[in-house]
Structure formats: structure tokens, C-alpha cells
Copies of this chain bind each other. A is one copy, B any other.
Amino acid sequence: MLVAPRVVVAAFALLAVSNAMPQGVVTQRILSLTAARTIAEAALAECTSRGFRTSVAVVDRSGNLLVVLRHELAHPATLEMARSKAYTAVVFRGSTAEFQAATANDPARLPQRDVPGILALGGGVPLYSAGEIIGAVASSGSNQTTDDECAKAGAAKGASLLE
């Protein structure tokens, strides 16, 4: 579900005033590479410290890659899985673990898994700034519980940079 948070609207209104934006343009917060790299490295380090060889991906709010890191002994498919999980977290606005549960339990949502590029495997989590989702981080190559925790470790590391 893609709800319109009221706070954001207010924020944009203010922004529009203070910067004298032209009428046909709005401004948007986007995730910097610097933050994305910090987040990716923290996610990877968490998995490495637990003995896993994984891939990590960070995407921007459109779902496009900013950073990918793959351990040399992690299968290339883990990189594509990480990318898909991060994309899923951005498109369906929540962690992929939540998306998996929600789509498994609701027949009306199950076909969301058929949208191209979507992957209902735990390990992807959204990244927030001022209440908005501005990207996502995902881990792949361990197991879904651990991948979720690694991604959350990455997101936690990045939180102070984004708020």
C-alpha cells in the first residue's frame, strides 16, 4: 500500500516556500552515495562477522542501484537476489520479510509477487529520511533471518546520516 504521509506534505509545502521553487518542479530528498556505501559496508560486515559470504545492494528511491558489494566466494546470483530484494522493499514500502508474510497470508496480495523484478525473500529493508522511504538495503547469501538482520544492521548504521 502506498499511502501519502501527511507530514511529508507539510514538509514539501515549507520547502516550496523557502526556496521559491518554480511551479512545475518539486524537490525530493535522495540518498547519497556516501551514505549508501556506509550502509552497504555495515550490512556486509554484520554478515561477515557471523561467518557468511554474502552480497549486499543499496538502491535509491526509484529502485536503481547505488552500491553493490559481493564477497568473491558468494555466488553471482546472490547479487541479483540482493538487488531484487532492495527493489521490492522500495516498491512495496516495507521489509521483504513483511512483504513475504503479507503476500502469503492475503490471497489478494499474493499476485504482487508476479510484478517483474519483485522477490519475496527476507533480507531487504527500506531506508527512511524524515519519514519518507528514500531507498533500501538488502543482503543475500546467508539465510533469510540473518540476511534481514544484516540489512537492518546496515540501515541502523545509516540512520544518523539520514535523519
Interface bracket on A: 35 or more
Q: Does A5 lie within 8 Å of B131, measured CB to CB?
A: yes
Interface of A is mostly: mixed
Bound: A75/B117 CA distance, A: 13
Q: Does A5 lie within 8 Å of B75, measured CB to CB?
A: no
Chain B, residue nearest A158 (CB) = B24
Q: Does A65 lie within 8 Å of B75, measured CB to CB?
A: no
Q: Does A2 lie within 8 Å of B69, measured CB to CB?
A: no
Whether A33 contacts B131 in the complex (CB less than 8 A), given A8-B12, A16-B15, comes out as no
Interface residues in chain A, defined as those with a beta carbon under 8 Å from any beta carbon in chain B: 1-19, 21-38, 48, 51-54, 60-81, 84, 90-93, 100, 104, 107-109, 111-117, 119-122, 129-132, 134, 141-144, 158, 160-163
